[in-house]
Structure 1
Amino acid sequence: MTAMSRWILLATLLGDAGCHDMEHSRRIDDPAITGKTIALQVCSNCHGVNGVSVSPTFPKLAGQQREYLVNQLMDFRAHRRSDPNAKRYMWGFTHLSDAQIEQLAAYFSSRPPPAGGSGNPLLVENGRTIFVSGLPDKGVPACSACHGAHGEGAGEFPRLAGQHADYIVKQLVIFQHTGERPRGDVMSTICVKLTEEEMHSVAAFLEASTARAKIQADQGTVETGSARE
């Protein structure tokens, strides 16, 4: 066998081994596969490698609250979230173990959070008012009371800063139908009081926001995570 033939054979064997390992790692019904591997090779197809999705059909997961991610993955696994996209994209993950769920949540929550974008200035400003002060005349509390002064979230309350506006609006509509979103009783009582324009305003503000509370505090600024950072 010539030297060239040996190199070709070696390359072929290595290539076959690499493909075998890749396919093996995608067997996410195997509890030995780590959550990080699942995140990189499966979740990344919709949510991006670093959790910053391109399509508003899929939420940005980067920098999301770990406890919130754990709760949602458990609800998907048990088919408790029954909104259309949950059924279409997430109901197949019934095989995830508790350990894999914890690892997935740890991976995405540790990714750098998404940067804020731009939006219609009027919608953004109206949304800022609702987020910070609520709508007292309608009995709508300030969103910041649960989701943080900068939209950074806390525990079971998700990070909203930098999220796709279209995704936020879609979820606000879904929360009007509590049965499709478990753990959604509080949001349901709020969302039924919001008009479509108010929902779009809040969503525009949040998409344009970047939750950088610590940096702002250090700098002594008072902006609420705006796109001007």
Structure 2
Amino acid sequence: MKQTPRLIVIVTLLGETGCHNLERSRSVDDPAVAGRTIALQVCSNCHGVNGVSVSPMFPKLAAQPREYLVAQLTDFRAHRRADPNAQKFMWGFRHLSEAQIEQLATYFSSRPPPRATLGNSPVVDVGRAIYMTGIPNRSVAACSACHGANGEGLGETPRLAGQHADYIVKQLMVFRHSGQRPRGDPMKPVSDNMSAEDMRSVAAFLQALPAPSASTDGHSTARLSP
């Protein structure tokens, strides 16, 4: 019985050590927690450890441009992204510091790009045509002009290659609502002039678009399996 106080002290100290171990913390409102730790212990629940989500409800973040991820996390923190799923899943990240945002963006942008998922060939072919050349008679610009011929994205323009088709369609619908994705306002006239079938076709093409591979001349190319 005389050792009981000592045991209590030891247990208390161990408990405090566990609670304050920042490398095992799920707290997203503590600026001392590294962004990589948040990525692995919090973001991975929806987006996957390597940024390749299983559910199409959540986008694949792997190999997204770092600038794009910084911009989106900044908007989530400021509650500028107001679409329903942004409010439901991301508005809780309002306490992220600048350093954590940079670290999260660096982590996910450095992950290997997601693999392509094969789709219905005729639908993919239609989507490829829209992506590469647009729909001129409806003032729909070619997606490749901003997102790249291989869907790789650049700067604040997201990577689309290998993304969940359902997620792409969902975001195209979000763009129709002004203010829900402020940085996406230039997409509103594009999405307004696309039919649901157009959206599904482009999304199917992008989901089936593989990561670029190095060609013999040193340039990157992307090929779809026949």
Same fold (TM over 0.5): yes
1:57 corresponds in structure 2 to: 57
> After the TM superposition, which residues 208-219 of structure 1 pair with which residues of structure 2 at under 5 Å, given as runs?
208-212=208-212, 215-216=214-215, 218=217
**Aligned: 1:80 with 2:80:** yes
1:176-219 CA distances to partner (integer Å, 9 max, x unpaired)? 1121111122100111000000000000000001131x514647
- Partner in structure 2 of residue 126 of structure 1: 126
8 Å CA contact 1:35–1:104 kept in 2: the answer is: yes
CA deviation string 1:76-118 (max 9, x = no partner) = 0001001000000000100000110011000000000001111
Q: After superposition, where does 1:8-23 map in structure 2 within 5 Å?
A: 21=21
1:228 matched to 2:225: yes
Offset from partner CA, 1:145-203 (integer Å, 9 cap, x none): 00001000010100000000000000000001121111122100111000000000000
Partner of 2:196: 196
Structure 2 CA distance, aligned partners of 1:82 and 1:220?
A: 39
SS of the residue corresponding to residue 55 of structure 1 reads: coil
Q: TM-score, normalised by structure 2?
A: 0.88
Deviation at 1:26, TM superposition (A): 1.6
What's the offset of the Cα at 1:19? 6.9
1:92 aligned partner: 92
The change in CA–CA distance for 1:23 and 1:101 in structure 2 (over 3 A counts) is closer
> Relative to 1, partners in 2 of residues 1:217 and 1:142: Cα closer, same or farther, differing over 3 Å?
farther
Q: 8 Å contact 1:117–1:227 — kept in the other structure?
A: no
Amino acid at match of 2:42: V
Residues 220 and 107 (structure 1 numbering): CA distance in 2 closer, same or farther, change over 3 Å? closer
CA distance in 1, matches of 2:34, 2:58: 22
Letter of the aligned partner of 1:166 in structure 2?
D
| Pair 1:220–1:85, CA change in 2 (3 A) | closer
Unpaired runs of 5+ in structure 2? Answer: 1-12
Question: What residue is the counterpart of 1:182 in the other structure?
Answer: 182
What is the alpha-carbon distance in structure 1 between the residues aligned to residue 144 and residue 125 of structure 2?
15
Contact 2:56 2:166 in 1 (8 A): yes
Indicate the percent of aligned positions where both proteins have the same amino acid: 64
Query: Quick one: distance in 1 between partners of 2:183 and 2:220?
Result: 34
For the aligned residue pairs, the C-alpha RMSD in angstroms reads 2.3
Residue 27 of structure 1: how far off its partner (Å): 2.0
Corresponding residue number in structure 2 for 1:5: none
1:135 is aligned with what amino acid?
Answer: I
Deviates more, 1:178-187 or 1:37-46: 178-187
TM-score, normalised with respect to structure 1: 0.87
Most deviating of 22-31 and 61-70: 22-31
Which ranges in structure 1 are unaligned for 5 or more consecutive residues?
1-12
**Preserved contact between residue 75 and residue 81 of structure 2 (Cα < 8 Å):** yes
User: Would the aligned equivalents of 2:23 and 2:33 in 1 still touch at CA under 8 Å?
Assistant: no
Give a deviation string over 1:21-65, Cα, whole Å, max 9, x none. Answer: 378622221111111010000000000000000000000000001
Which segment drifts farther, 55-64 or 22-31? 22-31
- Change in Cα spacing, 1:131 to 1:217, as seen in structure 2 (3 Å) is farther
The residue that corresponds to 1:110 in the other structure is: 110
